[in-house]
Amino acid sequence: MKLKYSLINALCIFSFLIIPYAFGSCDKAETSDSSGSSSGSSSTPDDKQDQVDNSYFSTLVTISWDSTPIVNNPLENNGVDIQTNGDEVVIKSTAEEVEYLLTGTTTSGFVKIYSDYKFKLTMNGVDITNPTGPAINIQSHKRVFVEIKDGTVNKLTDGISYKTVSGEDMKAAFFSEGQLIFSGEGRLQVTGNYKHAICSDDYIRIYKGNITAISNVSDGIHTNSAFVMDGGTLDIESQTDGIECEKGYIEIFDGTITITSGDDGIAASYEENDTSIDPYLVIHGGTIQVTTSGISAKAIKSRSHLTIHNGDIKVKTSQREAEGIESKKTLVINNGTIVVEAYDDCLNAATHIEINGGDIYCYSQANDGVDSNGTLLITGGRIIAVGTSSPEEGFDCDHNTFKITGGTILGIGGSTSTPTSNTCTQRSVLYAGSGTANTLFHIETSEGINLLTYELPRTLSSMTVLYSSLEIITGSYSIYSGGSVSGGSDFYGLYENTSYTQGTQLTTFHVNSMVTTVGRTGGENGEPNGGPNGPGGWW
């Protein structure tokens, strides 16, 4: 959802209308008193207030490093005090509508800013290394509009240890107490050697920019109340989380995100008991690639609801107990192309998984392809879910309702949860046998019309296949192993619009019910109380 006007903004408009001597625009009034909480409490992203073009900056202050800092400060005696000590620059501002422009290189300096009002910080080819603290340290709870000037390359690097200042928090190479809002088409590389690369104790929003965040110690990007991405390119390399929102939510509308992390890739991680905080995660679009290497790491994780509306998403985990996409409540996928290769479960939710569309491929090295600890609903999409040998499953929802009303659904594993026939409106077939990697598994009608042609991704001595499609109707079918294909398209082994040359016929079967089973399955049953035959029974 695009973010609504804040309550403060509404009050500002109201005040302007009823106070005859009010002057200036509502944006100017917001500049005066409400761009972030002076008490330090987190705020909520507001699309109108966050757009830099909706704010006005009348005075330009320039700071350039050559052999020493060169400062041009038109407000020297009018609200902006700038002190230098070597290459260190400290700004204390009580002025409104100020833009600070940074250029030049220093290997022993920093910029620290105290401000009573929001301001703009423009990076115009600046390279700052501070061996004893943050490169940029904003001790203000107001909005900071960070413009990465088009065509420029900018670098910020902190030290491995910090000189502490009583009463001040510092925990990133680029640190802010207030909101950080990025725009511009230039490049910014931030390297954190003490803790995080980029951190706000409020929220971070990216409209534009080519940003690289490298943390050699902790998170690439760390926020308190929210992380919102509307566009731009973000590359993260981190020892722990790629993007972590500690006490709020994450919302991605567009842009390109590439993360290589030692722990969670993208995480809304709040775990405490304040019910006013909802650590949800929503992906509306964009291109996202996450690779994690940690034990128990999740590529994309929400402590609350997780919703994917669209996007091109690829995630990979490689260590034990490392899941792909996980929600501690519900996981809903409405569209998009999603590829998950996980050591543990690929898709996991605590209470409910719902898939309404999209192209989804899940391959688990050691557990389930799709695992809901509650109910499972599929209404559309093309889904391949590959689990490992029994008791692991392609689709797993324990003994809870498994409802299918649409889509092309293929599950491979040692076993499976069985669709709940009295709730389904689309037919399913369960087949039990064995399978060899890189051989074709094929189902066709008695008239020789191709129904399913799939290249098995792994060898399973005891294999259960779950297949559901609108094309399954009452009639007779044959199952083949091996053979060959030509033409058509291939979605992770699922061939469509292809010509199949028959291999070895395994069996024939007849469909006359909502769920048809062929052979003996070795898994759970989605029917209430295990279904009429019970888990692992003969059909």
Q: Are strands 450-455 and 475-481 parallel, antiparallel or unpaired?
A: unpaired
Model confidence at 21, pLDDT cuts 50, 70, 90, reads very low
CB hemisphere CA count around 350 (13 angstroms): 9
Residue 269 CB burial class (10 angstroms; 0-12, 13-18, ≥19): buried
Share of the chain above pLDDT 90, in %: 87
Q: Is 49 within 8 Å of 9 (Cβ atoms)?
A: yes
pLDDT band at 520 (very low <50, low <70, confident <90, very high): low
pLDDT band at 223 (very low <50, low <70, confident <90, very high): very high
For residue 59, which of 23, 84, 96 has the smallest C-alpha distance?
Answer: 96
Which is higher by pLDDT, 11 or 297?
297
- Is residue 534 scored above 50 in pLDDT? no
- pLDDT tens per residue, range 294-325: 999 999 999 999 999 999 999 999 999 999 99
**Residue whose token pair is 């689990």:** 387
- DSSP 8-class letter at 168: -
What does the DSSP assignment read for 248-271? SEEEE-SSEEEEEESS-SEEE---
Which tens digits make up the pLDDT trace of 84-127? 999 999 999 999 999 999 999 999 999 999 999 999 999 999 99
Mean pLDDT across the stretch 121-147?
98
In this structure, are residues 356 and 330 in contact, taking their beta carbons and an 8 Å threshold?
Answer: no
Which range among 23-32, 255-264, 342-351, 506-515 shows the weakest confidence by mean pLDDT? 23-32
Query: Tens digit of pLDDT for each residue in 336-374?
Result: 999 999 999 999 999 999 999 999 999 999 999 999 999
Over range 278-289, report the average pLDDT.
98
Q: How many CB atoms lie within 10 A of CB 163?
A: 10
pLDDT exceeds cutoff 90 at 521: no
- Residue 519 — pLDDT band, cuts 50, 70, 90? confident
pLDDT more than 70, % of the chain: 88
> In the block, which residue shows the tokens 């842009």?
255
- From CA 384, how far away is CA 406, in angstroms rounded? 14
Output the average pLDDT for the chain. Answer: 90
Q: What is the rounded CA–CA span in Å between residue 123 and residue 150? A: 9
Can you give the residue ranges of every domain in the chain?
A: 1-34, 57-201+210-223, 240-344, 358-539
Summarize pLDDT for 426-443 with one digit per residue, the tens. 999 999 999 999 999 999
Q: Whole-angstrom Cα distance, residue 87 to residue 479?
A: 75
Average pLDDT over residues 239-261: 98
- The structure's pTM equals 0.90
Mean of pLDDT values over 10-15: 38
Q: Which pLDDT value is given to residue 40?
A: 41
User: What was the pLDDT predicted at 145?
Assistant: 98
pLDDT (0 to 100) of residue 75: 98
Determine contact, residues 485/436, Cβ cutoff 8 Å: no
Distance between CA atoms of 332 and 372, rounded to whole angstroms? 11
CA angle 200, 206, 209 (to 5 degrees): 120
Q: Cα–Cα distances in Å, from 464 out to 279, 507, 524? A: 37, 14, 11
Within 436-501, strands assigned E span 440-445, 450-455, 460-468, 475-481, 484-486, 489-491, 494-496, 499-501
d(CA 530, CA 537): 10
Confidence of residue 43 (pLDDT cuts 50, 70, 90): confident
535 by Cβ neighbours in 10 Å (0-12 / 13-18 / 19+) ranks as middle
Residues 6+ apart with CB under 8 A from 18: none
Of the listed ranges 64-68, 96-100, 416-420, the least confidently predicted one is 64-68
Q: Is the pLDDT of residue 9 over 60?
A: no
Q: At which residue do the structure tokens 């669709």 appear?
A: 419
Answer whether residue 20 shows pLDDT above 60.
no
Question: Looking at 35-39, 201-205, 318-322, which range is the least confident one?
Answer: 35-39
Closest by CA to 30, choosing from 152, 117, 151, is 117
Give dist(CA 450, CA 453) in Å, integer: 7
**Which amino acid is residue 74, in one-letter code?**
P
CA distance readout (Å), 384 to 217, 368, 408, 536: 37, 12, 8, 22
- Using alpha carbons, select from 528, 298, 517 the residue that is nearest to residue 415: 517
Residues 6 or more apart from 137 whose CB is under 8 A from it? 110, 111, 112, 113, 170, 175
